[in-house]
Amino acid sequence: MIDYEPRHWFSLLVQLRGSVLRNLAPRIALAAGLGALAEGLFRTTGFRIPSMGHTLLGAALGLLLVFRTNASYDRFWEGRRLLGAMTNRSRDLVRQMATLVEGDGAELRAHREALRRLVVAFYRLTAQALRDERDLAALGALLTDDERARLEPVVSRPSVVAAWMTVHAVAAARIAGASETRVLAMDANVTALVDALGGCERIRRTPVPFAYAQHIKLFVALWCATVPFALVDALRWYTPLAAAMLAFALFGIDEIGVEIEDPFGHDPNDLPVDRIGDGIDRATREILDVGGRAAG
């Protein structure tokens, strides 16, 4: 995700990173070329098409593009909400482990650290699953050699790590003599993490229906390809410029929808998935190191 200052409007105008302009350049050039063709035909043969059809269809096209953009942004925002829920539940689970499971023995400390480590690993593996990645070496010290070997053939790796988190929570509670109520409270956070994982997978595995996406692209393409021939009577030499501006506006709206409908990747306009993971790692470490000592 690109951080920017919304009040610095000039810097927003000239920044290319994250802009869809590069992807639109061929389509804008083609629209301008069609505008030039329309002007040439009109000048030599008087050919044009009535503008009434484009006037009527323009409203329908605008509604479709608005709906397309809203649908994509809903997916983007829902993805951010689910990652936020993972952040909150991760911090709360480590907080519970540091404070509700009382004691300071070596074995108990080992279970606390193992759960904290697996909480972060759960998030990192979720990010990998949403990106169709499988390189366990990228997790570094978050997994032991034995855990890495056991996860290698597994398809649903985050779910397995969630089970390991529960194992450590139960073992720590048994050592500390914590009540079943406290164990259930921790398990509720593990369940919430698994629910958030399922929500992210729903977004990732359920694209905008093909027929809808195709229809919008065909509608925009046909409208932009024919509108120069409807504008040429009024605009004459300005037709290529007007056609290019309309293509930039309409194709741009559709392209933005494509950019944000899958928000978990590595593109500039995707969510800051890795940065959120760094925040979970830092926060859980501080909770265990500082919060646990204060409670003790």
The tens digit of pLDDT for each residue in 168-225 reads 999 999 998 989 999 999 999 999 999 999 999 999 999 888 888 899 999 999 999 9
Distance CA 223, CA 210 (A): 20
pLDDT, tens only, 65-118: 888 899 999 999 999 999 999 999 999 999 999 999 888 889 999 999 999 999
Q: Which residue has the tokens 């265990």?
A: 288
pLDDT at 167 over 70: yes
Q: Which helix (H) or strand (E) holds 259?
A: helix 239-260
Q: pLDDT band at residue 58, thresholds of 50, 70 and 90?
A: confident
Name the residue with tokens 């911090």: 91
Answer for the pair 34, 243: CB distance below 8 angstroms, yes or no.
yes
Span 117-129, mean pLDDT? 97
Is the predicted pLDDT of residue 294 greater than 60, yes or no? no
Q: Which long-range contacts (CB under 8 A, 24 or more apart) does 190-193 make?
A: 190/93, 190/162, 190/165, 190/166, 192/85, 192/89, 193/86, 193/89, 193/90, 193/93, 193/119, 193/122, 193/162
Q: What distance in Å separates the CA atoms of residue 181 and residue 149, rounded to the nearest whole number?
A: 34
Secondary structure tally for the chain: helices H, strands E: 11, 0
- CA nearest to 87, candidates 192, 232, 172: 192
Burial class of residue 106 in the structure, from the number of CB atoms within 10 Å of its CB (0-12 exposed, 13-18 middle, 19+ buried): exposed
Buried b (16+ CB within 10 A) or exposed e, 266-277: eeebbbebeebb
- Dist CA 45 CA 196 (whole Å): 62
Rounded CA separation 249/24 (Å): 10
Return the amino acid letter for 106: A
C-beta of residue 134 within 8 angstroms of C-beta of residue 291: no
**Interhelix angle 106-130/157-176, nearest 10 degrees:** 160
The first and second tokens of residue 260, run together, are: 């944000």
| Residue in 21, 27, 20 with CA at minimum distance from that of residue 244 | 27
Give CA torsion, residues 126, 127, 130, 134, to 10 deg.
Answer: -90
Q: Which of 2-16, 137-151, 271-285 has the lowest mean pLDDT?
A: 2-16
pLDDT at 292: 62
Is the distance from CB of 102 to CB of 178 less than 8 angstroms? yes
Spatial CA neighbour of 42 closest among 230, 176, 264: 230
Question: Is 5's pLDDT higher than 70?
Answer: no
